[in-house]
Amino acid sequence: MGRRKRAELLDQLRPAFARTGPWLQAGKYVAAVMSDLPKRNGWTIARHVGDRSPDRTQRLLNRAAWDTMAAMSAVRQFAVAGLDQAAARRRGRRPLAVGALDETGQEKAGTATAGVKRQHMGCAGGVENGINTVHLSYVRQGTGHALIGARQWIPREQIDDPVRSLAAGLPLDLEFKTKGQLAIDIITDALADGVVLDFACGDEVYGNCTQLREFLQDAGLAYILRVPSNFRVTLVRQVTRTCAETVRALGSGLRWEVRSAGNGSKGQRWYAWAWAGTASARHHLLIRRHLRTGELACHYCFVPEGQPAGVTRLIRAAGLRWPVEEDFEFGKDDFGLDQSQVRLYLAITRHTVLVMAALAICAVTAAQLKDRTDTQAPPPVRPRQAPPPNPGMIPLTVPEVRRLIAAATTRPWPPGHIEHWSGWTRTHQARSRWFHQRTRLERDHEITLNPLVI
């Protein structure tokens, strides 16, 4: 199925290319980033696809005539349609569709790369020289997720410097935008492509952006955005307080409930939750407390009129922000999202789009095969429960789909070799997951005997 999905997406990408040659080269590029190359750059990709030099790969990213934004739109529509199709097969309650906003970076040396600056880099754990890109991940609850939009953040000083701007290949009409404003552009493109979201989610970078919140409200799109403790909310009788002051003022009046924010690889992710109303009937303050450390996280929520606004639904949506981090992990570890050695603005965007295409192929394949490949034993229900004789296998994951596609398109293996190693790996992971879940039961035994799982 993976190779069929790759051919399907490449067909959808064809209208974005003015000539057949660059389109075929893009297909080779996608295949290369899905391969087992330890490092993905112009030289290694060219060698892998059989080119005699990196010229074609470099031309594809820097000078070839193709519509990069149209290609991103094709990737977006492919990923959303594939994940929606997989979600439609699930029984029971309709899974939520969430757009998760976040940014990720790549360390870069020197000052010549588009967008490079000494800045906080989450991937580096501190302030480093590098570039940052804002992404939107489409998350289908219990089904799968993939990156569907991206905009690179460019610092104002580089845009305003004509020499640096020209050297970095910045568009002449490029304007400085904050990460929140870039998020508006990404969501605008998604809505124009017909993407339907139940909620938009993001961390404090986006929760602090008044312009983004107003845009989402005007578009009638519900949101759950994390905000800092000093974020001010308007309570009853026009009393304005920070989130921290609100929590202290309400004190014992807050009704805390232990609920799961969703199922992770090691079991349910339990937190204590409370919510408070505001002066607006459509806005709420959702507060999450860590069960062991007591650390608080505040989320400012908006639900348009006519949509359900219960705390259960808000918690379900708030728990769906983390998959964008998993998309970054897959994108970097398995597809080389942060391995491009290009410097021009256009080339960085094109590399990002082609990596998003590879990720979308594997994410859709894994989602549509999930029910057929998940044979895990039932999770433990007691802290000292004996392990099952057969742990089964976890469903196919994005990295495993990539490995299977890569193995099927490289050197010939003995009959059954690929299937054997895929089964062995997933069985081992299922066994590890079962023991992780049992360990968590021992650690979380103080949680209420019959908590509500969202």
Closest CA to 136 of 188, 174, 93: 188
Average pLDDT, the chain: 90
Spell out where 291-374 has E strands. 296-302
Amino acid at 453: V
* Cα–Cα distance, 332 to 339 (Å, whole number): 7
| Phi, then psi, of 183 in degrees rounded to 5 | -60, -35
Q: Which of 18-27, 228-237, 361-370 has the weakest average pLDDT?
A: 228-237
Q: Which of 218-227, 311-320, 348-357 has the weakest average pLDDT?
A: 311-320
Q: Is the per-residue pLDDT at 450 higher than 70? A: no
* Cα–Cα distance, 61 to 130 (Å, whole number): 20
CB 132 within 8 A of CB 151: no
- pLDDT per residue over 329-351, tens digit each? 999 999 999 988 899 999 999 99
At residue 417 the predicted structure's pLDDT band, cuts being 50, 70 and 90, is: low
Q: Is the per-residue pLDDT at 84 higher than 90? A: yes
Locus of tokens 């040659």: 21
According to the 3-state scheme, what is the secondary structure of 217-240? HHCCCCEEEEECCCCEEECHHHCE
Section 1-25 average pLDDT = 93
Closest CA to 200 of 216, 179, 219: 216
Closest CA to 425 of 447, 406, 397: 397
At residue 110 the predicted structure's pLDDT band, cuts being 50, 70 and 90, is: confident
Segment of 236-250, 274-288, 345-359, 388-402 carrying the highest mean pLDDT: 345-359
- pLDDT per residue over 207-228, tens digit each? 999 999 999 999 999 999 999 9
409 phi-psi bin (left φ>0, alpha ψ -120 to 50, beta other) = alpha
* Cα–Cα distance, 282 to 172 (Å, whole number): 41
Section 25-31 average pLDDT = 95
pTM exceeds 0.75, yes or no: yes
Amino acid at 417: H
Q: Is the per-residue pLDDT at 396 higher than 70? A: yes
SS3 of 163, please?
helix
At residue 1 the predicted structure's pLDDT band, cuts being 50, 70 and 90, is: confident
Q: Is the per-residue pLDDT at 44 higher than 80? A: yes
Q: Is the per-residue pLDDT at 448 higher than 60? A: no
CB 146 within 8 A of CB 359: yes
Closest CA to 292 of 325, 269, 265: 269
pLDDT computed for residue 330 by the predictor: 95
Q: Report the percent of the chain where pLDDT is more than 70.
A: 94
Closest CA to 207 of 318, 104, 289: 318
Contacts of 64 (CB under 8 A, 6+ apart): 17, 19, 21, 22, 25
Q: How far is CA 182 from CA 104, 191, 413, in A?
A: 13, 14, 46
At residue 451 the predicted structure's pLDDT band, cuts being 50, 70 and 90, is: low
Section 300-305 average pLDDT = 95
> 232-241: buried (b, 16+ CB within 10 Å) or exposed (e) per residue?
ebebeeeeeb
